[in-house]
């Protein structure tokens, strides 16, 4: 299913793993149709994805743009959200991103073929100005799904939060086809008051979205049909659900390297999983941005040990205190026969896709949620911040494919353990207990959703058709723009 070989999409992923990963997948999907795709990012993130981009052997190029960190008061190396503290530093990162507009405009003038369309994460508000200058459309890419976007829109439009006096008071999100009840903190995904600068940035995000040609979402119509339709109606623009984009990864090497080089050898990981019974392993991964305190890490480890089930535990960053506990308590030695601990980046999709994995203890990031759905793996939900509490509601309350671990408030910088070992043990056992009808029904539902996801991405499926529709739209706009330019040039000559 080819496209016009002169089409050129330029992608702007936010400087974070959770945004970079689906953008690279989307680049491969578009390039498979014959388009040229450029990914504008920092040298650090470019190096992380260079291998998978090179192996694809498609018309994908990396546009490396060093962030002018010194101009906003950030030290060198702070070029992704994983490497910076939250809130105040994040705003400085956005300020540095704003300074990339002029270098990008210079790059655009030399790109061949000329850019046909920009697809950018919402913080790159200035790409709307670039799109206008070069007379091309801009699409906004959202990491979270349509459900989250609809919830955010309706709560903002109704001003319901102004009527909620307490952070812990539960309220029903108005106007949804499903009854979803959350607290103010869960909806906001933070307990912090946003600064004036951050509010200014958010206002700019919304204005740039209103001016955009359309919205691209990493989701599929069958997963949230009513919300995909409602999003298009509320935003008054086209919405293309083109996912789950992770399904474009077929090769084990691509699965292992997706996002970053894994901290465990893929062969060793698969060999360990091969030795386990089907559906017996619980995989634990809390994302690339979640902060897990030392005390919380200890409680999690003890809870996994108490389940007496095999597990794979990805520890993205081990604190000095947690390292000391591991050493003094001999934890890895105690669980070595049934626990695989990955210190660093884990090949998550590769692990979830293995027949031995029967459950996923997740932070409820949207990428992880979709990857679990694609693998047909039910979830223990442990949201930390941002969109994760609403994603938990989508998993547990709407689709009923997960078990909540019981977290009620955002956990951004806590040094205490909000989740105790008994909470971990009880949630895992409830999820993995195949003798209970409730657990069987959860697994049946998520298996069916996984099959729907694969059909959506296959030829003739809803996401495949949506990619075709997107390409046709951009192709049509590109031809109209070219003809307009030719007519204006002819008129000028005359």
CB 363 within 8 A of CB 391: no
- Write down the pTM of the prediction: 0.93
Task: Please check whether the two domains, 8-242+459-493 and 252-455, share a CATH topology.
Answer: yes
Distance (Å, whole) CA 266 – CA 27: 24
Sheet holding 311-315, edge to edge: 339-343, 311-315, 281-285, 357-362, 379-381, 402-404
- Identify the CATH homologous superfamily for domain 8-242+459-493: Glycogen Phosphorylase B; (3.40.50.2000)
**pLDDT tens by residue, the chain, 494 residues:** 445 568 999 999 998 888 999 999 999 999 999 999 999 999 989 998 999 999 999 999 999 999 999 998 888 877 777 765 555 667 888 899 999 999 999 999 999 999 999 999 999 999 999 999 999 999 999 989 999 999 999 999 999 999 998 988 999 999 999 999 999 999 999 888 888 888 888 899 899 999 999 999 999 999 999 999 999 999 999 999 999 999 998 877 777 666 556 668 888 999 999 999 999 999 999 987 777 889 999 999 999 999 999 999 999 877 889 889 998 999 999 999 999 999 888 899 999 999 999 999 999 999 999 999 999 999 999 999 989 999 999 999 999 999 999 999 887 666 677 899 999 999 999 999 988 899 999 999 999 999 999 999 999 999 999 999 999 999 999 888 776 665 655 565 55
Neighbours of 428 (CB within 10 A): 23
CA distance 383 to 409: 9
Nearest Cα residue to 314 out of 278, 372, 269? 269
- H or E element at residue 182: strand 181-183
| pLDDT (tens digit per residue) in 347-385 | 999 999 999 999 999 999 999 999 999 999 999 999 999
* 79 SS3 class: coil
Alpha helices of 343-436 — where are they, by DSSP H? 348-352, 366-375, 388-393, 421-432
Domain residues of the chain, as ranges? 8-242+459-493, 252-455
CATH class assigned to 252-455: alpha beta
| pLDDT at res. 2 | 45
Contacts of 483 (CB under 8 A, 6+ apart): none
Q: How many residues does the chain have?
A: 494
Instruction: Strands of 48-123 (E only): list them.
Output: 60-64, 117-121
Half-sphere exposure of 135 (CA within 13 A, CB side): 10
């Amino acid at each position: 299913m080819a496209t016009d070989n002169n089409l050129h999409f330029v992608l702007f992923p936010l400087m974070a793993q959770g945004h970079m990963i689906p953008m690279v997948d989307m680049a491969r999907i578009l390039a498979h149709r014959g388009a040229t795709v450029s990914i504008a990012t920092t040298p650090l993130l470019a190096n992380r994805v260079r291998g998978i981009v090179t192996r694809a052997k498609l018309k994908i190029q990396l546009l490396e743009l060093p962030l002018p960190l010194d101009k906003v008061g950030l030290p060198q190396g702070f070029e992704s959200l994983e490497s910076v503290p939250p809130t105040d530093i994040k705003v400085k990162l956005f300020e540095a991103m704003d300074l990339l507009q002029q270098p990008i405009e210079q790059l655009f003038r030399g790109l061949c073929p000329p850019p046909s369309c920009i697809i950018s994460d919402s913080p790159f508000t200035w790409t709307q100005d670039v799109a206008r200058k070069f007379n091309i459309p801009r699409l906004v890419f959202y990491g979270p799904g349509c459900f989250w976007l609809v919830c955010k829109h309706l709560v903002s439009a109704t001003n319901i939060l102004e009527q909620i006096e307490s952070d812990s008071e539960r309220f029903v999100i108005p106007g949804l086809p499903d009854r979803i009840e959350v607290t103010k903190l869960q909806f906001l995904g933070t307990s912090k008051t946003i600064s004036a600068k951050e509010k200014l940035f958010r206002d700019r995000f919304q204005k740039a979205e209103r001016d955009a040609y359309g919205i691209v979402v990493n989701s599929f119509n069958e997963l949230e049909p009513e919300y995909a339709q409602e999003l298009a109606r509320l935003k008054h623009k086209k919405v293309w659900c083109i996912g789950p984009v992770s399904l474009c990864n077929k090769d084990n090497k691509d699965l292992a390297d997706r996002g970053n080089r894994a901290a465990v050898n893929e062969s060793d990981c698969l060999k360990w999983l091969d030795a386990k019974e089907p559906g017996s392993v619980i995989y634990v991964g809390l994302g690339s941005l979640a902060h897990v305190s030392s005390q919380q890490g200890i409680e999690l480890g003890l809870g996994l040990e108490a389940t007496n089930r095999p597990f794979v535990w990805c520890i993205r960053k081990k604190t000095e205190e947690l390292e000391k506990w591991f050493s003094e308590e001999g934890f890895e030695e105690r669980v070595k026969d049934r626990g695989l601990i990955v210190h660093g980046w884990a090949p998550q999709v590769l692990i979830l896709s293995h027949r031995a994995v029967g459950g996923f203890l997740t932070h409820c990031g949207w990428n992880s949620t979709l990857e679990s759905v694609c693998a047909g793996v039910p979830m223990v939900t442990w949201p930390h911040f941002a969109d994760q509490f609403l994603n938990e509601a989508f998993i547990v309350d709407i689709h009923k494919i997960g078990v909540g671990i019981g977290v009620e408030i955002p956990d951004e910088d806590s040094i205490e353990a909000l989740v105790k070992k008994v909470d971990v043990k009880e949630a895992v056992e409830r999820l993995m207990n195949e003798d209970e009808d409730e657990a069987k029904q959860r697994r049946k539902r998520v298996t069916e959703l996984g099959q729907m996801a694969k059909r959506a991405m296959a030829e003739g499926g809803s996401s495949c058709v949506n990619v075709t529709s997107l390409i046709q739209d951009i192709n049509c706009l590109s031809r109209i723009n070219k003809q307009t330019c030719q007519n204006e040039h002819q008129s000028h000559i005359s």
